[in-house]
Every structure is written in C-alpha cells, then in structure tokens.
Structure 1
Amino acid sequence: MMNILELAESLSNQTKLKTMGWSDSFQEIVSDTDIPARVVSVNKDIFLVSQGSEDIQVTLSGKVRHRTGEADSEKLFPVIGDWVLLRDVVIDKVLPRRNALSRGAAGGRGKSHDVAMKEQIMAANLDTVFIVCGLDRDYNVRRIERYLTLVYNCNLSPVIVLTKADLHEDPLSCVDEVESVAFGVPVHLVSVDDESGVLELEQYLSSGKTATMVGSSGAGKSTLLNRLYGKSVQQTGAVSQSVGKGRHTTTGRDLIAMPQGGLLIDNPGIREIAFYSEDGGVESSFADIEDYALYCRFSDCDHLNDPGCNVLQAVASGELSAERLESYRKMKRELDYVSQRQHKTADRIEKERWRDVAMKIKAVNKNWKRR
C-alpha cells in the first residue's frame, strides 16, 4: 500500500496531468507503473513532452520509430498533442487518440485527380479548432466553407475567429455572411482596439482543454495567441501589401500552456486545404443544401440538370447562391473520390471514370444518329 507521501505525490502528478488534458479515458488504459506525458513540440526527430511542470526532451524507441507494433494503435507516430508512455527519456508507446485534425499533405496529390494521397496529422486530442480568418485580403467565405468541412470530417468542434476587424469598414456584415453559411458555429470578431472579442475566446481555454488554430499565413493566428497569453510568446510578421499574404512566421507547432488554464496550438499557415478523409463533413457544412435536396424529385439527384431538382429551384429563386452550390459540388466531388479511394486503387477509379465518360459519349452519338 502507498504511504501518505506516495499518495500525495500520486495525487499531485494526477492534478498536473489533468491540466495538460489527461482524462479518465486515458487513465483506464494505463497501469500504475506507466509514465504518461504529452507531446508539446515536434521538430523533425526532436520531441518535447510534458507532465504538467517542465518540458523534457526525448527520443523515440525503435518500435515507435519504425511502427512495428502488431495493433493499429501501436503503429502511431507521435504528433503534437499526443499522449505517450515514457521509458526513461524514450517514447515507448503512443496512446490511442481521442481524435485528430488531419488533412491531405501538400505535394502528395494523385496524378489523375486534385486529391491528396498522403495524410498529414496536424494535432491530436483536441477540444476546439479555431478557424482564423483576417478581414483584409484574407477574407474568403468559400475558404471558410472548406475549413469547416475539413474540421467536420475529423469530427471536431469548429469556432470561427474573424481577426483584423479594425481594417474592415463594416465587420458586422462579415459576421452575418459567415453565420449564414456556418450554421450553429460560434463566430467571434477580434479587433486590435477592442479586447471584448479576445475575452470571448477564453471560454474555450479553460483548465485541461486543448484548442488549435488553422488559417492562412498572415491571418493573425500568432498575434491572437500573444494577445490571449498576455505577452509575446510567438513571433509575428507583417502582411505583404502587394499580394495581401503573410509570411510563414510560425514554422513549427507548439502546445502552449495558457494562463486561462487550457492549451493552445499555433499551426503554420495553410496554403491549400486538401481533404484526406470523408466522414460527413459536406453534409454538416452544407446543411442548407442537404435540406433542399430532401425535396428533389429523385433521391440520387446530382443538382446539375436533373428535372425536379429542388436545389436548382432554390438557386433560381435566390434562396441559395450559385457560388455556394458550386462550392458544395466541388467538395462533394473531392470527398466522393476520397471515399472511393479508401476501397479502390486510384488507377481503378480513373478507369471507371473514363468508362462512364465513354458510355455517355456513346449514348450521345447514338441519339444523334437517330435524328
């Protein structure tokens, strides 16, 4: 049995771990002799982990480095936000993730389609994803739709943060526009001359909660992190006046313990929002179109030229914008391909696609000859 000192030390360690996001679900799968820690920084082969007090630099065991475990959960490579088990200063195991924010890796696209073939996991074990968009040249509702779909595909909770409100002549109109496409998603407005917007975000950073930020370079993610922290902890850079794009001042990922009690990850700017998985993201992001589609004449209506299409009628009446429908179609095509790819090879999908095209051309030619 534990003596009083050992019990007090154990309780103290549990409290420190909980401030880092440790939960009962993790506690249930470890033994009393295991040493858990959370990955707070990854820089190539250098890993920093924390147990709630100081950061420790560690290396990977051969089993983790080469992912030679028998079960899928034993083949995980540690990313920021992961919980790991230590053996001295070596990561010996990565614990199963509650969730993960992932996208298609840049430069990993297939030769035949504009769809990424490799996965990049940006962060794990999250409670909130801040979608950060500046109200300068960065502002783009269609891009926000893609971010929402990405987050929903990962079964995570999005929060939209519109920064640089002081640079827009009518920022509240942007809030209204975003709310019209982001149903039920909290939208917060942040300005350099008003602290209220920043204070509203503190509710997502309560003790033990983990949030991450995604957005373009120059959207104001690092500046937002510094304001939430109360001092400069992340380098910031100016936005180019000629092209309206920011420089990659954030080149790595760090899990930062915030004074509000929670943790926040500042991701590098994302240039392309590529999908890797499909899990109902489009249905959640475009709930209005899905509702219109329920009343289409045909259950498999493609919303292009099928008769009795209620979605097209909504566009014609002005209830739905043509731009939003086109955004929906584009992402639907991408995610349909992603879904197929999980069960078929890319070559097979391409052959089937061209077979369908050939059949349609054949049918058109046949009808033409009958005239």
Structure 2
Amino acid sequence: MHQPANALPGHAPASRPFESLQPWGWSPALAEVCQDRCPPGAEPGRVVAASRGLALVQTATGETWCAPTGRFRARLQAEDLTLCAGDWLLLERPPGDGRASALDLLPRGPSLTRQGASGRPQVLAAHLDVVFLVMGLDRNFNLPRLERLLALAWGSGARPVVVLTKADLAGEAGPFVARVEGVAPGVAVLAVSALTETGLDGLRACLPPGATAVLVGSSGAGKSTLLNALMGEAVRRTREVRASDGRGRHTTSLRELFRLPDLGCLIDTPGIREVGLCAGGADLDSTFSDLAAWAASCRFRDCTHGAEPGCAVQAALAEGRLDPERYGHYLRLRREVAFEAARSDARLWREREDKWKRIGKMLKQMKKERP
C-alpha cells in the first residue's frame, strides 16, 4: 500500500502550495505553474500509476482514480502523449464519490525516454531527480547494456547512479565497481545487497524527502527486491532468478510510484528487454565524456572520428589511451541515434502530409455541399 498523504479537509485552496504534496515531489516551481493554469475547483495530483486510459493519482486528500476529459484526451492524442508514473495533473472531482476527471498535464521536468516498439519515443517516468541504473553482480552484469542505459539516464536531465545489486553473491565487489567506473566516468557507483542491507544507506542518501528516483534495469536485476528493502515491506512480488542463465522473469508489469518512509519517491519499472535510444532522449556526449573531451581537440568541428586528419579521438585510440571496444560501442550507439532521428523526421513529414490531405478533402467536401 502507498503511504497516504497528510489529509487536508476538503480541497486545498488554489492559492496555497498544497504543502501535504511536498513529500510526493511538489515544489515551488510546480506551485507557480499550477497557480497560472489551475481553474477554480481543480487541484493538482501526481500519477502513481497509469494504464489503459486511467490513472491512479495522489492528491492532497488521498488517492483517486481519474480519466482524461474528452478535450484533454484529444490534446494527448494530438501531441502523441501518454500519461506515465510521476506526471503531475490538474484534476476536477464531481460531487459525491464519482471518478475524478483529468483536465491538464503540467509541464514535465526531467523525464526518462526510450524508443518504443512503435518507433515513437516512450516516456517511462517523469519529474525525476535521480535515475538508478540497476545491474546484478551475477550473470546480469553487462557493460554494453549499462552504456545504453547511461545514455538514456543522461538524456533525461536527471542524475544517473549505478546500483550493483546482489553484492553478497560477488565475494569482492571492488573489481566490478572499478569496471563500471571505467565506462561511467563521473557517475556514482554503489554496490548493495538487499539481503544483508549492505550499501542501502548510500542509496537512501541519494533520495532525500521530496526527491524522485526511478529504478531501471533488465529482468532479474533485483529492482523489486531493492524496492521492498527500502520500503521495509513486501510491496512487490519477487521471483528467483534461473540458475541456468541468470535471467529473471517479469514480476513488475506496471510502472508505479511509491513514497518511501522518511525518504523521497521511487518509481519501479518492469524489466527492460530492449534499450532503444531515440533522438533527443539520449546523451552520448555525457555517456562517453572521455571521447567528448578528446573530440573537442579535433581539427574539424564536424569530425566523425573516422579517417579525418587531425582527429584527436583516433590519436587517443592509436596511443592506447582509448579502449577500442569502448570506441566501437560509441560508434554503434551514435549510428543508432542518427538512424532514429532520420526515421522520426520522415515519420513527422508523412504525418504532416496526411494531415493536409485530410484537410484538403474536407475543404473540397464543404465546397460541394455549398448551395
């Protein structure tokens, strides 16, 4: 169960900053936006979970289910938006115990976005301060996958933190931490164990009251077990990882926001099978900050770090300062982001053409119907 917010009698006045929502991430910046956009009788609420057009929302007076109004639903469809855990909405409640209506979506802060199966960007969680990249110290340990997750985390605008779970199985976690630090310069790396509670205090220090983090990783990484340990109770069902291949099964099917005791909010997500990068949602320069530093010394500003003369990245590669495998990962991810950007541009052009064709047909039909 989610911890209920401190109850307030009735609806909080629009002029007040909804203090009871501060543990859920409410901030002065959101209060200012809300004051400008909140109609009389409406109130803000944070999306705890969203599924099939409905959203479970935490308000100043507790949790409630809501559905977008027709006008708001049309706007979401027109702007290709889907509600997600962490969003802030403006709600209107009918008299009695009827379901609330969602009127508007407050502007999103730092958000984690990946390339969806449909080829469109998919927002996984919104209004984030920290992205916990979770990887187990067993057969789940995979540095190339971590580099992909780092690109998403840096692209979100939130602070990435690598969490190495199952430290009790690793014997000595130091060598694993060193390997991760080699591909994640400047990123905090924590080795933790939910079983022995090793390293959990370091994790708690990253999530003070009012902050929001998201757990991201593949199935079997230990995200739900970690959440249960931080909550102090079993709020997520867990399953054992198969010994044959080290893989876990999906125990989380819904992205859901939890408020941790005496801490901030934590969004748990299902295991990510495919870490698709999308243009605008991935930050390769921060992920490969060592390459970016060398690239700043290249002779040409548009250097592709291939065969151009005066390429500082190629010089670092030749001198052994840059790992060839890391360079190869960088090139592969850069090509993927460029491909997705081109595909997105082509899709937008097709959608615009289809839109104007529909408008043209409608105008012709209107002319025919004129007397």
State TM-score, norm by structure 2.
0.81
Equivalent residue in structure 1 for 2:112, among 90, 101, 110? 101
Instruction: From 126, 129, 150, give the equivalent of 2:128.
Output: 126
Match of 2:64 among 56, 59, 78: 56
User: Distance between the aligned counterparts of 1:196 and 1:56, measured in 2?
Assistant: 37
Q: C-alpha offsets along residues 132-160 of structure 1, whole Å, 9 cap, x if unaligned?
A: 00011111111111111111122221111
Structure 1 residues 346 and 22, CA gap change in structure 2 (3 angstroms) = closer
Q: Which secondary structure does the structure 2 equivalent of 1:159 belong to?
A: strand
- Provide closer, same or farther for how the CA distance between residues 77 and 280 of structure 1 changes in structure 2, counting only shifts above 3 A: closer
Is 1:301 the equivalent of 2:303? Answer: yes
Structure 2 CA distance, aligned partners of 1:192 and 1:27? 36
| Cα offset, 1:228, TM superposition | 0.7
Is residue 2:65 matched to residue 1:65? Answer: no
Q: Which amino acid aligns with 2:254?
A: G
Q: Does 1:28 align with 2:32?
A: yes
* Equivalence for 1:360: none
Matched, 1:221 2:195: no
What whole-Å deviation, never above 9, does each CA across 1:32-63 have from its counterpart, x for those lacking one? 73311111111223321112552112222112
Secondary structure in structure 1 of the residue aligned to 2:30: helix
> Any stretches of 5+ residues in structure 1 without a counterpart?
109-116, 349-371
CA offset digits 1:202-251 (Å, max 9, x no partner): 12222111111100000000000011111111111111222221100000
SS in 2 for 1:216: coil
SS of the residue corresponding to residue 335 of structure 2 reads helix
Specify whether residues 297 and 35 from structure 1 end up closer, same or farther in structure 2 by C-alpha distance, changes over 3 A only. closer
RMSD (Å) for aligned C-alpha atoms: 2.8
Q: Structure 1's 66 and 202: CA in aligned 2 closer, same or farther, altered over 3 A?
A: same
Task: Using the TM superposition, name which of 339-348 and 214-223 deviates more.
Answer: 339-348
Secondary structure class of the residue paired with 2:56: strand
2: CA distance, partners of 1:347 / 1:13: 42
**How far apart are 1:76 and its partner, in Å?**
4.4
The equivalent residue for 1:79 is 84
Letter of the structure 2 residue corresponding to residue 15 of structure 1: E
8 Å Cα contact 1:202/1:260 also seen in 2: no
Residue 192 of structure 1 and its aligned partner are, at CA, apart by 4.3
The superposition leaves residues 265-324 of structure 1 with CA deviations (integer Å, 9 ceiling, x where unpaired) of: 110000111012236711111111122223344444333334443323323333221110
| 37-46 vs 189-198, greater mean Cα deviation | 189-198
User: Distance in 1 between the 2:106 and 2:216 partners?
Assistant: 24
2:23 equivalent among 13, 19, 23: 19
Mapping 1:293-332, distance limit 5 Å: 293-332=295-334
Q: Write the distance in 2 (CA, Å) between the matches of 1:57 and 1:243.
A: 40
Q: Relative to structure 2, which stretch is displaced further, 298-307 or 264-273?
A: 298-307
Structure 1 residues 255, 314: closer, same or farther in 2, change over 3 A? same
DSSP 3-state at the match of 1:67: helix
Q: CA deviation at 1:101?
A: 1.1
Task: Give distance in 2, aligned partners of 1:347 and 1:26.
Answer: 34
Q: Is the 8 A contact 1:205 1:258 kept in 2?
A: no
**Aligned equivalent of 2:49:** 41
Provide the secondary structure at the position in 1 that maps to 2:199: helix
Cα distance in structure 2, aligned partners of 1:280 and 1:79: 19
Partner of 1:209: 211
Measured against aligned partners, the alpha-carbon deviations of 1:79-126 in whole angstroms (never above 9, x if no partner) come to 2111111111111111111232111113x2xxxxxxxx2121111111
Q: How many residues align?
A: 332
> For 1:185 and 1:240, how far apart are their aligned partners in 2?
30
Partners of 1:68 and 1:216 in 2: CA distance:
29
Per-residue deviation, 1:169: 3.7
Identify the residue that residue 233 of structure 1 maps to in structure 2.
235
Q: Which residue of 2 aligns with 1:147?
A: 149
- CA distance, structure 2, for counterparts of residue 201 and residue 68 of structure 1: 35
Amino acid of the residue matched to residue 270 of structure 2?
P
1:138 aligned onto 2:149: no
Whether the 8 Å CA contact 1:82–1:94 is kept in 2: the answer is: yes
Per the alignment, residue 353 of structure 1 pairs with: none
Letter of the 1:57 partner, please give it: W
Answer yes or no: is the 8 Å Cα contact 1:205–1:260 preserved in 2: no
Kept in 1: contact 2:194–2:200 (CA 8 A) = no
Cα pair distance change 1:52/1:313, threshold 3 Å: same
Q: Structure 2: 5+ residue runs without aligned partners? A: 1-7, 94-99, 351-371
The 8 Å contact of residues 77 and 94 in structure 1, kept in 2 or not, is answered as no
Inter-CA distance 300–287: structure 2 relative to 1 (3 Å threshold) = same
Q: In 2, distance between residues paired with 1:136 and 1:324? A: 22
Look up the match of 1:112.
none
Q: Which residue of 1 aligns with 2:361?
A: none
Indicate the residue corresponding to 1:285 in structure 2: 287
Distance in 1 (CA, whole Å) between partners of 2:48 and 2:206 is: 19
How far 1:7 sits from its partner (Å)? 12
Aligned counterparts of 1:220 and 1:238: Cα–Cα separation in 2? 10
- Give the share of equivalent positions with the same residue, in percent: 40
